[in-house]
Chain A
Amino acid sequence: MREGINIFEEDFWAITDILNRLLQGTNARTILLIDKAGQLITSSGDTAKIDVSSFATLSAADFAATSQLASLIGEKEFSTLFHQGEKENLYVCLIADRVILAVIFDMRTTLGLVRVRAKNSAAELEKIFNDIFDKLDKQTGPKKGLDLDFTKAAEEELDKLFGF
């Protein structure tokens, strides 16, 4: 299992660009990109009315639980999920085995359009994430992470925050 995801500027903007194009191309309300552990990578569209942390966590949990259901009936994975509501709908698909793309949309668009355009975007995103994972796998020598200064500052912040 790869350790974590580190996303650098160039990849981040490429990812954001794909999400923005998908948002415009589908007329969806919000698009979220979430890692399988439930952490939000980035989003596009209207997130003002959504608790994105909770949404990311529950989407990942939903996906994880559904994957287990798939394996119980002999499927490797259900690669897409669709939840239909009265006004809002949710379409979710998996990218590069590690990242979840969630599209929230209403009656201004259709499931068919979301599905087709999301599939195209998923292919583009998959390429970027595979590159990111390759880069992480190939990293040799000292891990490019956070410096000691950071750890020290974080400790001070913890002291302050938790009041010890």
Chain B
Amino acid sequence: MALINYASREINSKIVYYGPGLGGKTTNIKYIYTKLNPEIKGKLISLATELDRTLFFDFLPVDLGTIRGFKTRFHLYTVPGQVFYNASRKLILKGADGIVFVADSQIERYDENIESFENMNDNLQTYNLTLDRIPLIIQYNKRDLPNITSVEELQKVINPQNKYPFFEAVASQGIGVFETLKEVCKKVLLTLG
């Protein structure tokens, strides 16, 4: 959860990118890293396997600058998407102020999205948290591929009440990446206010 230090005038918040394996969570963070000015971003840390699959997490600190005298900073994390890394996913989710759920739009990944979303809810429950208390943004990624499920269909299973803002994205080309980030940052700041 957010750390507000009134003495050093700093606010730190944690945003977690969640979703099924190979869905594009790391791609989002890497794109953000390549596009931000060096003075506002920290080092990108990836704890990944030799095959570049996320093992524990990716981490990127982003400085928003000084707002009303408070140095405001977001810490972006990704979780490992592969099913058997649930212990790590749970640890990363701890203390999250906002979540981006990156869904893979490909037809063959339909079930994995649902499983991952349910897994996220289960993991939140272990910390006595629900999505009523943590802002969630959904990103339907890989919209450029030919074999994809329609957004309407994905919405029906992931976001049936249209409770959460959603964006279509092609993270590998940066489409929808910053729109998603901006929305989750806004929602997190609203919860601090």
Q: Which residues in A have some Cβ–Cβ distance to B below 8 Å?
A: 1-9, 11-13, 35-42, 51, 53-54, 57-58, 61, 64-65, 68, 145-151, 153-155, 157-159, 161-164
Report yes or no: A154 in contact with B95, Cβ–Cβ below 8 A.
no
Most chain B CB within 10 A, of A37, A41, A57, is at A37
Residues of B with C-beta under 8 A to A4: 1-4, 97
Count of residues in B whose CB is under 8 Å from the partner chain: 48
What is the distance, in angstroms, from B174's C-beta to the closest C-beta of chain A? 11
Q: A-facing mask of B84-103, CB < 8 A → 1, else 0?
A: 00011001101111000000
Residues of A with C-beta under 8 A to B3: 4-5, 7, 35, 37, 39, 41
Report yes or no: B61 in contact with A147, Cβ–Cβ below 8 A.
no
Report yes or no: A161 in contact with B186, Cβ–Cβ below 8 A.
no
Say yes or no: A57-B75 contact (C-beta < 8 A), given A12-B8, A37-B94, A146-B70.
yes
Report yes or no: A61 in contact with B72, Cβ–Cβ below 8 A.
no
Say yes or no: A54-B45 contact (C-beta < 8 A), given A12-B7, A155-B189, A158-B64.
yes
Sample of 7 more A-B contacts, CB < 8 Å, known A41-B3, A155-B186 = A12-B8, A37-B3, A41-B5, A54-B43, A151-B190, A153-B67, A158-B182
**Mostly helix, strand, loop or mixed at chain B's interface?**
mixed
Asked if B59 is at the interface of the complex by the 8 Å CB criterion, the answer is yes
Say yes or no: A163-B178 contact (C-beta < 8 A), given A4-B2, A5-B4.
yes
Give CA–CA (A25, B93) in the complex, Å. 37
Interchain CB contact (< 8 A) of B65 among A11, A38, A68, A161:
A161
Residues of A with C-beta under 8 A to B42: 51, 53-54
Report yes or no: B7 in contact with A64, Cβ–Cβ below 8 A.
no
Residues of A with C-beta under 8 A to B2: 4
Report yes or no: B91 in contact with A150, Cβ–Cβ below 8 A.
no
Give CA–CA (A34, B62) in the complex, Å. 18
Say yes or no: A37-B193 contact (C-beta < 8 A), given A3-B1, A8-B6, A157-B67.
no
Give CA–CA (A151, B192) in the complex, Å. 8
Interchain CB contact (< 8 A) of A162 among B11, B56, B70, B181:
B181
Residues of B with C-beta under 8 A to A154: 64, 67, 72, 185-186, 189
Residues of A with C-beta under 8 A to B96: 37
